[in-house]
Amino acid sequence: MTALPHNGTLYLEDYEERIVAINFFNRLKEDFHRVENTFEDAILPVTTITSGNGREVRPDIYCLPIQIVNLCYIGDPGSDWILIDAGMPGSAEKIIETANERFGSRPPRAIILTHGHFDHVGAIVDLIKHWGVPVFAHERELPYLTGQSDYPPADPTVDGGLVTEMSPLFPHQGIDLGEHVQPLIPDGVVPGMADWRWIHTAGHTPGHISLFRDKDRSLVAGDAFVTVKQESLYKVILQQREISGPPKYFTTDWQTAWDSVKKLAALKPSAAVTGHGLPMEGEELASSLKMLAEQFDRIAIPAEGRYVQ
């Protein structure tokens, strides 16, 4: 059995050498098969070079990468705030620690979920237990958050990449939050976020949402689009920034996903925090998102796959 670091994550000391990552992954796959496919026991044995290093995108928008996924704290330091998404399994301690550093002991007013995939709700049960705050999601996402439905399994046949190969091992089960999760109201109002509105950006999941603030055109996109090629282990580890569609291995409705990207591009956001990858701003974001909206079929949609029509 391959020996792992004590915290179960993969660090690439000489990250310029892709072959190191590839060889390590090939040895690791046998061990990963031993991991239970449950939220409680799921261990994703990979992380990025930015993991744990938060970044202030706006004075009141703080992006925290945890392993391969981002979550957002919305609110000025020391004031009322909202948490968007709930990170990886086992990440509650880091999420709470960061919140205490930024807001003191004040709990969030609510937790807003862009969707319910395991890497976006991994710590949600522990966070609810700790803070006792309500959770909100789109009504079409509720079946996956109330124990009624599971997501379709990941598709390892989409365009190549080592994360894609590993994706059948990712949990796709729903989670049961019971009465703790509530539907967002249909008019776009976000509880606790007066200047923001939610936008239904389905495709990656049926109830996926993004959040937008009109006054400065700030966008929290979730996985409607991302800024790293999420299928590539090498690019994920190094966080090589490039515009990309939603993660291919978990996306099930590609035409709707394209429509969602067009919807977000039409907003002309000035800054975007996505579920995976580094924040993107200014002209880089404008030109990249325009290109993605126009060439989504070339850039994002796999040539073949279980969910490709």
Is there a domain that residue 182 lies in? yes
Question: Could you tell me the pLDDT band of residue 110, with boundaries at 50, 70 and 90?
Answer: very high
Is there a domain that residue 227 lies in? yes
295 Cβ partners below 8 Å, 6+ apart?
none
Question: Could you tell me the pLDDT band of residue 51, with boundaries at 50, 70 and 90?
Answer: confident
Q: How far apart are CA 99 and CA 133, in angstroms?
A: 14
Q: How far apart are CA 102 and CA 114, in angstroms?
A: 22
Q: What is the pTM of this model?
A: 0.87
Q: Is the pLDDT of residue 20 over 90?
A: no
Is there a domain that residue 293 lies in? yes
175 Cβ partners below 8 Å, 6+ apart?
39, 116, 121, 124, 125, 144, 145, 147
The conformational region for residue 8 under phi > 0 = left, psi -120 to 50 = alpha, else beta, is left
In total, how many domains does the chain have?
Answer: 1
Give 193: exposed, middle or buried? Use CB within 10 Å, 0-12, 13-18, 19+. buried
Domain interval for residue 117? 18-299
Is there a domain that residue 308 lies in? no
Specify the amino acid at residue 138. Answer: H
Is there a domain that residue 220 lies in? yes
Is there a domain that residue 151 lies in? yes
The conformational region for residue 90 under phi > 0 = left, psi -120 to 50 = alpha, else beta, is left
What strands lie across the sheet with 61-66, from one edge to the other? Answer: 55-58, 61-66, 69-74, 82-84, 111-112, 135-137, 181-183
Q: Tokens standing for 171? A: 């949990």
Query: What does the pLDDT look like over 234-285, one tens digit per residue?
Result: 899 999 999 999 999 999 999 999 999 999 999 999 999 999 999 999 999 9
Q: Of 140, 87, 82, which Cα lies nearest the Cα of 111?
A: 82
Range with the poorest average pLDDT among 43-52, 100-109, 247-256, 292-301: 43-52
Is there a domain that residue 55 lies in? yes
Q: Of 290, 138, 159, 309, which Cα lies nearest the Cα of 225?
A: 290
CATH number reported for the structural domain that contains residue 102 in this entry = 3.60.15.10
Give the DSSP letter string of 7-45. TS----TTTT-HHHHHHHHHHHHHHHTTS-SSTTT----
Regarding predicted confidence, which is higher, 87 or 28? Answer: 87
Q: How far apart are CA 100 and CA 93, in angstroms?
A: 11
Is there a domain that residue 186 lies in? yes
